[in-house]
Amino acid sequence: METYKGKKRQHYLEKHSISHLFSFPIEEFMEVREYKRDEWIIREGMRPEYLYYVIEGKAKIYVTYQNGKVSLINFINAHDYIGEMELLHEVYYTKGIQASAKTVCFAIPLHHYRKKLLEDTTFLRELTKFLSVKATKMAEKYSQGLSFPLENRLADFILQTADGDVYKEKHVTVCDFLGVSYRHLLHVLVQFCDKGYLHKEGRHYHIRQPDELHRLADVLKNGLETGG
């Protein structure tokens, strides 16, 4: 993890200002942090000391069940908060948050701002909107598993987890997240390679036709909009 200082910090504060989300000055103690791919932003079970606001990159949310199984449960993208549930609830089991590409966040220290944040109607209104959208997306994920073919869901998954044009998620993680068999997943990946969407190199895949993957992934969004 790298903490930006001086002119680099100021550049991000100005370029990605979030002052409009609060009714009080927020930038004095706010840090600008960069996490590389696979770095943990928050480790599971450890309460964060910061509220994060993602300005670049993406991350994955993991949870470990009582039987020891670790599952990917959701994604985090630019303009998402991290640690908002821990801010709102004193007793909350923290999930593991891991960067899936270079990720830059604003880190708001809770020991300085917790009381102000919980009393700020401007911030709480924006946070309520964010949580509403987050809940809707989680509901959409489960409905997609019943309504759309694996080709569409896998294309969306690849685009969400790829680091640039490189996709290298473990097959068992994908099967668990999408609720499909290992054999079915491999069959569709072979199809994607045969069609030229992906090119396999060792254990990794390179995205060769991102437009085709976006076309397949967009079916999920369009289908849900039509159904709504």
Q: What is the pLDDT of residues 189-216, one digit of tens each?
A: 999 999 999 999 988 999 999 999 999 9
pLDDT computed for residue 68 by the predictor:
78
User: Is 194 part of any domain?
Assistant: yes
My answer on whether 119 and 77 are in the same domain is yes
Q: What total number of domains does the chain contain?
A: 2
pLDDT computed for residue 134 by the predictor:
84
The distance in angstroms from the start CA to the end CA of the chain is: 41
pLDDT computed for residue 146 by the predictor:
63
d(CA 162, CA 157): 8
My answer on whether 7 and 84 are in the same domain is yes
User: Residue 117, exposed/middle/buried by CB under 10 A (0-12, 13-18, 19+)?
Assistant: buried
d(CA 173, CA 152): 17
How far apart, in Å, are the Cα atoms of 179 and each of 161, 166, 197?
Answer: 17, 23, 22
Q: Please tell me the pTM assigned to this model.
A: 0.83
Determine if residue 34 is left, alpha or beta; phi over 0 gives left, psi from -120 to 50 gives alpha, anything else beta: beta
Tell me which of 55-69, 100-114, 127-141, 158-172 is least confident.
127-141
Tell me which of 51-65, 69-83, 211-225 is least confident.
211-225
My answer on whether 39 and 109 are in the same domain is yes
My answer on whether 151 and 220 are in the same domain is yes
My answer on whether 34 and 106 are in the same domain is yes
